[in-house]
Structure 1
Amino acid sequence: MLHPYGSTKIQSCLSNQSLIFFGGTKARQIFWTVAEKLDLQGAQIASQKPETNITGATIFNSKGAGIIHVWDPAFNSTRHALVGIRPIEKNYTPAGYPWMIDDTHFFFNEDGIHLTNEAAPLHADAVLNYFCNKLVDVPSKSSQAYCCAPYVGPNGVQKMLLLMSSCAIVYHLLSFFACSKRIFNHERGWLSFPETARVAGAVATISLAVLYCYMADRTALFEKATKAAELGTFLCMTGIALLAGLATFKQNRVQHETTNGNMTALPEYRQVLSRQQTEEWKGWMQIIILLYHYLGLSKVLWVYQFVRLLVSSYLFMTGFGHTTYFITTNDFSFRRVATVLLRTNLLNIILAFVMGTRYDLYYFPMLTSLWFLIVWATVPRNAAPGVDMYRFVRRTAISFTLVRLTLGASDIIEPFFAVLGDAGLGLPGIDGRELFFRFGLDAYIAFIGMITAVLYAKYDTCYGLQCHKIAAVAIPWFQPTSRLTTWGATVVVLAYSIFCGCFTDKFRYNEWHPLLSPLPVLAFIALRNSTRKLSASHSRLFAWFGRCSLETFVFQYHILLAADSRGVLRPRLACKLLGRQGCRGVFDILETAIVVAAFLWTSAATTNALSIITKSLAGLGPKALFVFVGVWILNLAWIPAAATTA
C-alpha cells in the first residue's frame, strides 16, 4: 500500500531538507504533481512562470517546504543515434513468455513521454512514500501495510500477550486430549468437567483469533492493497446478499412445553421487533456495512447517508432492547451491567492492546456501551416489572438534557482524553474528538428507541399480551399497523430519500442526520411489520449474521480489511503457489472467498467463545475484579515498552 500524502505531511517531511527530481519530462511531471499536493493554487501559478534560479533547475517553495527539478543533461544532447550499424549481439525476444506483460498497465500517453492524468499522482505518491516514510510518523509503527517503511516489531507487552495466547492454545489442546482419555477410561478428574473444558476452549478460540489478527495485519506475511471504490460491485454484491437472504426466509417458531413435558415448536402469530427480527435487521445491515468498508465508498454521498442510517438503526435497537429488558425483568443489578459491558467490550479491548490501536477505533462497541449505561441510568426502578410513565418521562427529559450539555461542552472535555492517554495508566487510548463526533451523530435515536419500547410495552399491557411471554395457543392477529400507517411509512421513506438527495456533501448532511434518522427507522419498522406473514417470519441467513454482528464489525479491521481498515487484505496465496507476480479474474475471486470464509468462521467461533467467557467471569462475582486489576497492572508497562520500541 501507498500511504497518502497531503500538504501537512509533505511539509513535515521536507521541513529540513529538499526533494530533488532529476530527469526529463516524466520527472518534471511528477515534480509538478508533488507541488500541487503541497500547494495547489501556488503550483498552478508557478507552473505557468516557473522560478528558475540556476541553469536548468526549477525551484518551488511553499509553506516551509521546497522541491527542485533538475533537467538531465542527456536529454538536451543534440547527438543523433547511429544508423545502419548491425548489433553485435543477437536480440532474443521472449515471445514465449506472455505473462511477462500480463496485467500490465500502460501509464504513458500516446506520445510515450508524458504520464496519464491517473498515473501521475500514483507515481508522486510512490516517490513520497520512498522518501518520506522513514522520516514521518506514518501508521507503519502499528502496521506493516505501507511500503518503504522500516519494520517495527512487537513491543514487550505485545510479545507477552502473544505468548500467553499461544500458551492458551497449547493448554487447550493438551486439556482436550487429556479430558478425552479420562472420560474414555471412566476416570474422574478436574479436567473432565465440561465447564472447565468449555472455558479453556473459549480462551483458546479467542487467542487463536487474536493471533490471526496480528499475523494478518501486523506482519508482512500477507500483502495489503488499496481499496478500489467500485459502486457497481457494491450494488451487485448487495443484490446477491438480498436474494440469498430471501431464499432463507421462514416463519418464526418458539419452543413450548406441553402438558406431558415434551417440547414442541409452535409458530409465532404476533411478534413486532422479536429477537429473530432484530437479529435479521442487524444481519443485513452488517453485510452492507462490510461491503461499504471493503469497497471504500465513503466518498459516494448516497451510500454514506444510507450507512449512517444503518448505524442509527443499530443504536435504536440498543435503546429499544435494553429498555424492554429492564421494564419486563426489573433487573438493574450490577451483575447485569457487568455482563453486558464485558460481552460488548472484551474483544475490542483485547485487540486494542495486542494490535496497538485506540479503543474508539472499533466505534460500535464504544457507542453501544455508552448508550447502555445511559439507558440503565434513565429507566426508572420499580418494585415490580413495568414502568411508571410519569417517572420515565421525567428521567428521560433529564437524561436528554445532560446528553445535550455534554455534547455542548465537548471542547472542554476532549483535552481530558489526551491527558488520560499521556498519564501512563496502561489503558487503550481514546480520541476525544472522534468519540464526540460519533456520539453526536446519533444523539437522539437511542432515546426514540427507549420511548418506542415503553409505548410498545403499554400496548401489550392493554391487550393482555406481555412482550416477554409467549402464549401456548394461537393468538388472533391484531394488525399493528393499519393501511394508513403503511402508506404513511412509505411516504416518509420516499421523502427522506428525496431530502437526502438535496445535500451536496456529507458534512452538511451530518448536521441534519440526528434530526432526520428517527423518521426512516420508525418507517422501516412499520413496513417490516405491515402484514402478519412479514411480522412472523425472518431470514435465517441475515439472523445468523446478526448474531455475530459485533464480532464481524470488530474483526473486519484486521482480517477482512487491513491497516486498521485503510486497505484490504490480499494474501496472494494462489499467485505465490503459481509463481506469478499478478493474478486477476478468477484468482481474485478465489482469494476473496478464502479471506471471507476465514473471517466469518473466526467471527462465529469468537461469538460463542465470548458468550462462554462472559458467563464465566460474571459468575465469579467480585472475584472477577482481581482478574481485571491484575491485567491492568500488567499493562502499566505498555507505554514504556512502546516508547522503547519506537
Structure 2
Amino acid sequence: MILLGPVTHGQVSFLIGFITTFVAWIYSEYLVFKNNSISSKVRDSDVGLAEAESLSVKEDDRAVLLDGGAIKPSPYGARIPPSFSNLLRFIMLEESFLIENRMLLRAACEFGFLLAYFYICDRTDIFESSKKSYNRDLFFFLLFLLIMVSAITSFKIHLDKSPFSVKPLLFLNRHQTEEWKGWMQVIFLMYHYFAAREIYNVGRVCVAAYVWMTGFGNFSYYYVRKDFSFSRFAQMMWRLNFLVFGCCIVLDNSYMLYYICPLHTFFSLTVYGFVGILNKYNEIRSVIAVKFLACFLIVIIVWEIPGVFDVLWKPFTFILGYKDPNRLAEQLPPMYEWHFRTGLDRYIWILGMLYAFYYPTAEKWIEKLDEAKLKRRILIKTTIVVTSSMAAYLWYEYIFKLDSITYNKYHPYTSWIPITAYICIRNVTQSTRSYTLLVFGWIGKISLDTYISQFHIWLRSNAPDAQPKLLLTIIPDYPLLNFMLTTIILMAASYRLSELTNTFKTAFVPSKDNKRIMYNMISGGAIMGILYSLSFVFLKVPPVLV
C-alpha cells in the first residue's frame, strides 16, 4: 500500500487515539460479557433465597447510585460527569467507567473506522481512480429516475394533528425545508460527480438557498425562543464543525476545502450576533429596523469597498486561507477563496432573517386567505403563481443564462428572485405545502454529512487540499455499477456520521449545563495536547534510531 501524501502529526495523533479507544472498547465489551456470564451462573445455581435477595438489593443499590447522580446517562448509555477524573479513569482502564461508557466508546470506534475508510479511499492506492465524464442524457435520466421512484415510494401528506383538529401544515414547515435541502443536495452531488458544468449556475442558487435557510432558521429560533445560552451556541457549532474537524486532521486538509462549513459557521455567528446583541429590545420594531440597516451597511462597507475585506480578514488567514495545489500557478492570494464564497452570498442571509421576521405576518395573511371565498381565493393565488412564475422566467432569461463568470457578478443581488418564487409557488395552496417526498427529506437531514463525505469516498483528490477532480473507482471498467456501489456507501456512511455526531453532541455538549461543557472543552484540549506530544515522539524517534 502506497500513501499518497506525507504522514502528519495530526494523523499520528488520530491513530494513537483510535488504537487507545479501540482497546478500551474491546476491554469494556469483555467486562460486560464477563459480568453477564457471572450473573447467568448465579441465576442458574442453587442460591438460597436470602442470598438472592441480598444480591438483588446490591444490584438495586447500584442502579440507584447510577441514576441518582446529577448527570443522567445519554440515550446511548454514555455518562460523562463534569470531572477531570474521567480522563484518569479512562487511562487507568477503570472497569466501572468503561462499562458505563461502553456505547460511547463503540461510537468513537465506529467514527474512527469511518475516517480511516476516508483515508484509505483518498490517500492510498488500494482503490483506483477514474476521470469524470458528463453525459447530459445520462445525467437527467438518473435525476428523473430518482424523482419518479421517490414520488412512487415516499410521497406523503403531512398534517398538523392537534387535540382538537387536523389541518394542513403552515408554509415553510420543517418537512418542506428538509425536502428542499434534499432536492438541492442531490443536484449538488450529481453536479460534482458528473462534472456537469452546464448547471453551474444552478449550484450557485442552491448554495444561496442554504445560506438563506441559515438566516431564516437561526433568526426564527433566537427571535421566538430567546435562547442565547452558551450550550445552544456550542451545540450549533458542534453540528457544523465536528465532522469537518476530524476530516481536516485525518486527511491533512484546510478548513476552506469544505467551504460550506466555514460559510454556514460564519453566517450562523452573524445571525447569533444580530439577534443576541441588545436582545431585550428585539420586540421594538425600530430597534430591529436599525439592526437590519446596520447589517446591510456592514456588508456594503466590507464587500463593496475595495481593500476593506483584506484588512478585516487578514488576521484569520491561518484558518480561512486556502490554496488549491492544482492552481498554484495562478498566484491567487490565500484569502481569495473565502472572499469569493462569502461575497457570492453576502446579502441573502440578511434576506433570510428579514423573511423570518415577517413570517408571523405572512402566516396570518395566508390563514385569512385560506378562509376567504372561493373566487377571491382563486384570484389571489393565481396572481401569486403568475407573478412568481413571470419573475422566475425573467431571471432565468436575463440572468441565469449568462456565462458563469458574468453570472457571479449579478448573483449576490438576484439570487433572492428564484428563492422567493420557489417559496411562493411551493406554498400557494394547503395541499402543495403539505406534500413532501420522504426520500428527499431524508437526504436533506444528512446534507452536511453527504457534502463532506463525497470528497473522499465518492470523489477523490489523491493529495492534501486538492479539489476532488477524480472519481473513486471500486469496480473498474463498470462506471454505472461503480456509481451505484459508491453512492450506497456514501449515503450509508453519511447517515451513520450524522447519527454519531448527534451521539457525541449529547455526551459532550449537554443542554443547559455550561459548566460541564467547559470541563469537557478543557479535557478535550488536554487530550489533544497529549496525543500531539506523543505524535512528535513517534515521528522523531525512528529517524534518530536510523
Q: So what's the TM-score if we normalise by structure 1?
A: 0.64
Residue 201 of structure 1 is aligned with which of 79, 87, 106? 106
Q: Which residue of 2 aligns with 1:285?
A: 184
Q: In the alignment, which residue of structure 1 is the partner of 2:435? A: 537
Instruction: Judge conservation of contact 2:255–2:320 (CA < 8 Å) in 1.
Output: no
Distance 1:379 1:306, change over 3 A: same
- 1:489 matched to 2:394? The reply is no
Alpha carbons of structure 1 residues 637 and 497: separation in structure 2 relative to 1, 3 Å: farther
Q: Specify the alignment match of 1:559 in structure 2.
A: 457
Is 1:599 aligned to residue 502 of structure 2? no
Q: Which residue of 2 aligns with 1:59?
A: none
Compute the displacement of 1:364 (Å).
Answer: 1.2
Whole-Å separation in 2 of the counterparts to 1:543 and 1:385: 36
Q: Residues 8 and 252 of structure 2 are in contact (CA less than 8 Å); yes or no, is this contact kept in structure 1? A: no
My pick for the range that moved more, 179-188 or 444-453, is 179-188
SS at match of 1:533: coil
Are 1:374 and 1:399, in contact at CA under 8 Å, matched by a contact in 2? no
Q: Which amino acid aligns with 1:400?
A: F
Contact 1:358 1:431 in 2 (8 A): no
Residue 622 to residue 501, structure 1, CA distance change in 2 (3 Å): closer
* Partner Cα distance (1:419, 1:606) in 2: 27
Aligned to 1:175: 28
Q: The residue matched to 1:627 in structure 2 has which SS?
A: helix
Question: Alignment partner for residue 502 of structure 2, among 611, 622, 633?
Answer: 611
Contact 1:328–1:386 (CA under 8 A) maintained in structure 2: no
- Specify whether residues 320 and 419 from structure 1 end up closer, same or farther in structure 2 by C-alpha distance, changes over 3 A only: closer
Partner SS, residue 432 of structure 2: helix
Residue by residue, what CA displacement relative to the aligned partner does 1:227-279 show, whole Å, maximum 9, x if unpaired? 112222221121112212322120114576x69xxxxxx85513211111111
2-structure distance, mates of 1:615, 1:537? 32
Question: Which amino acid is the alignment partner of residue 375 of structure 1?
Answer: V
Residue 177 of structure 2: SS of its match in structure 1?
helix
Q: Percent identity?
A: 23
Distance in 2, matches of 1:170 and 1:254, equals 48
Tell me, in whole angstroms, the C-alpha distance in 1 between the residues paired with 2:460 and 2:238.
Answer: 26
Q: Which among 452, 456, 474 is matched to residue 359 of structure 2?
A: 456
> In the alignment, which residue of structure 2 is the partner of 1:156?
9
Provide structure 2 residue ranges, at least 5 long, that are not aligned to the other structure.
41-58, 67-72, 79-100, 322-332, 462-466, 511-515
Once the two structures are TM-superposed, the CA of residue 337 in structure 1 deviates from its matched residue by: 1.0
Deviation at 1:603, TM superposition (A): 0.3
Query: Matched residue pairs, number?
Result: 460
2:125 counterpart residue number: 220
- CA-to-partner distance for each residue in 1:493-535, whole Å, 9 max, x for gaps? 11111113552x3111111001110011011001111121111
CA distance in 1, matches of 2:141, 2:284: 49
- Tell me the amino acid that sits aligned with residue 491 of structure 1: M
- The partner residue of 1:269 within 168, 184, 200 is 168
Label 1:151 to 1:496 Cα distance change in 2 as closer, same or farther (>3 A). Answer: closer
Structure 1 residue 314, shift from structure 2 partner: 0.8
Question: Offset of 1:213 from its aligned partner?
Answer: 0.3
Which residue identity is paired with 2:15?
Answer: L
Aligned-residue offset at 1:431:
4.2
Q: Is the 8 A contact 1:492 1:523 kept in 2?
A: yes
Structure that is richer in helix per residue? 2
Q: Summarize the Cα distance change of 1:463–1:235 in structure 2 as closer, same or farther, 3 Å threshold.
A: closer
Is 1:244 the equivalent of 2:149?
Answer: yes
Tell me the SS of whatever aligns to 1:534: coil
Contact residue 11 and residue 250 of structure 2 kept, 8 A: yes
Aligned to 1:588: 479
Report the CA distance shift for 1:167/1:229 in structure 2 as closer, same or farther (over 3 A).
farther
| Change beyond 3 A, Cα 1:304–1:382 | same
Counterpart AA for 1:365: C
SS in 1 for 2:156: strand
Which residue does the alignment assign to 1:514? 412
Matches within 5 A, 1:362-377: 362-377=258-273
Q: Does the 8 Å CA contact 1:250/1:537 hold for their aligned counterparts? A: yes
Query: Given the superposition, is the C-alpha separation of residues 418 and 366 from structure 1 closer, same or farther in structure 2, using an over 3 Å criterion?
Result: closer
CA distance in 1, matches of 2:500, 2:150: 26
Equivalent AA in structure 1 for residue 170 of structure 2: Q
Could you say if the C-alpha distance between residues 635 and 174 of structure 1 is closer, same or farther in structure 2, counting changes exceeding 3 Å?
Answer: closer
How far, CA to CA, are the matches of 1:492 and 1:151 in structure 2?
Answer: 50
- The one-letter code matched in structure 2 to 1:168 is T
The equivalent of 1:523 in structure 2 is 421
Report the CA distance shift for 1:178/1:641 in structure 2 as closer, same or farther (over 3 A). Answer: closer
Aligned counterpart, 2:82 = none
- Which range moves more in the overlay, 185-194 or 594-603? 185-194
C-alpha displacement of 1:446: 0.8
Q: Which has the larger radius of gyration?
A: 1
Against the structure 1 CA distance between its residues 280 and 267, is the aligned structure 2 distance closer, same or farther, given a 3 Å change threshold?
Answer: farther
CA distance in 1, matches of 2:145, 2:422: 21
Distance in 2, matches of 1:199 and 1:457, equals 41
